[in-house]
Amino acid sequence: MKNSNSLLLLLVSLLLVLVSGVLLWTWGFRVYNKNEVNTVAAASAPRDSAGIAAAIRDSLQKVYKATITSLDAHIDSTLYGTDSLRTQLTAKLEAFFRLKAEINVLLKNRGPGNDIPLAKEKIIALQQKLEELRNRNVDVENENKKLSALLEQLNSAGKNNAGLNARKTGFENTLAGSSTGNFIASDMRLSAVMVEAEKERETTLAQQTEKLVGSFVVKNAAGQFNNTEVMVVVLQPDGRVLKSSAWESGIFNTPEGKKIYSYKLSFDYSRGEAKKLLFSLSADKYQKGNYTMQVYHNGAVIGRMSKTLS
């Protein structure tokens, strides 16, 4: 037993000596190798490398400055002149400013470890982004011109020949809505309905509710509309929009951004008419709490009411 313990200790000691030897040899080899690489690099580097690097850096600084100046000249008109595309542009500009900051850091670093090729690459990327923005700006201007021309064309066509062969245009609703003002919704009702013995009955209990039935009256003193639309948004107590069916709900635009609607109602409207509109929504489950119904026309709220289920 004693012998076997001594043998084990001897083996472990030998192993440790062997490992130490390998480590020492590796360290020595690395030190030798590094010195050799440094010598080769020093021999091949031109004597005035620092001057050349400074010259490259200066020229890059010039290119960069020119790019930034050019960018600044375009930035305002691009940002403020295109409302509908502002979000996209903001994203592009964010990318710009990120690149700009990165290049600044690279160019400020005048030490020997600075990365001139990387700075060059980034400046090229910056120039490409500027080009994209310029193109975008031109596109937006062209689009504005096209739309203005189209509006004029449609207006004159509408005056001269109302309703003649109007298929394939599709801008009528937007035009009519914006030029003649909005509707007002009144007499708004939202009822929770349960079915008992094949008869529908109103309830105030969320647990008994099988569907929500809503109605309201819309009125517009100014305009006459063919096939106009109002969107109904019913917000559940948890703030989420109640969606009855994938075929009924969708997205619409408001000045505050995109919104989801629960139901869309399309109708024809004659001037001054009090038009009653109805809808119903079914969900798997109804939460207890406050339900808010909002009615929108052309992105603006034209009526709002609440209903509580207990």
Partner 1 sequence: MYSVCTRTVVAAVLLFIFFTNANAQPKRNEPPASAQVFAGIEVGSKGVKMTIVEAGKNEVKNGNLRTVKDTSVNTDFISFTQPTYQATLNGLSKLYEEAVTVYRVEPGHVFTAISSGVKIQADKESKNNWIEQLINAFRNNIKEPGRKVTVVDVVEEARLSHLGIIPDARRYNTFLIDIGSGNTKGGYFPKGNTKDLKLFQLTWGTKSTLNAADKRLDGDKSLSNYNRQLERVLAAAETSEIEYAVNQSGAYPMSDNVAFSGGIAWSLATLMYPELIDNSVVPVNYEELVKFNERILNSHATLSDYYITRTMVENSADTAVVAREVKRVNQVFDQRSLLAGTGLMLKIMRQFAGVQERKNFFLVKNGQVGWISAYVNQNIRK
Residues that bind partner 1 (CB under 8 A): 85, 87-88, 91, 135-136, 139, 143, 163, 166-174, 226-227, 239-241, 243, 245-247, 249-251, 257-260, 264, 266
Which residue, 106 or 233, has its beta carbon nearer to partner 1? 233
The least CB distance from residue 229 to partner 1, in Å, is 9
Give CA–CA dist 181/164, Å, rounded.
Answer: 24
Question: Which of 89, 119 has the CB closer to partner 1?
Answer: 89
**Pairwise CA distance, residues 185 & 12, whole Å:** 91
- Closest separation in Å from C-beta 93 to partner 1: 13
Cβ-based burial of 255 (10 A; exposed 0-12, middle 13-18, buried ≥19)? exposed
Q: How far is the CB of 168 from partner 1 (least distance, A)?
A: 6
- Rounded CA separation 175/156 (Å): 13
Closer Cβ to partner 1, 148 or 227, answer by number = 227
Minimum CB separation from partner 1 for residue 201, in Å? 24
Q: Alpha-carbon distance 153 to 147, whole Å?
A: 10
Tokens representing residue 131 in the block: 């080009």
For partner 1, the closer CB: 92 or 219: 92
CB of 7 to partner 1, least distance (A): 13
**Closer residue to partner 1, CB minimum distance, 15 or 274:** 15
Q: Judge contact between 52 and 46, C-beta under 8 A.
A: yes
For residue 13, give the H/E element and its range.
helix 2-44
The end-to-end CA distance of the chain, in Å, is 83
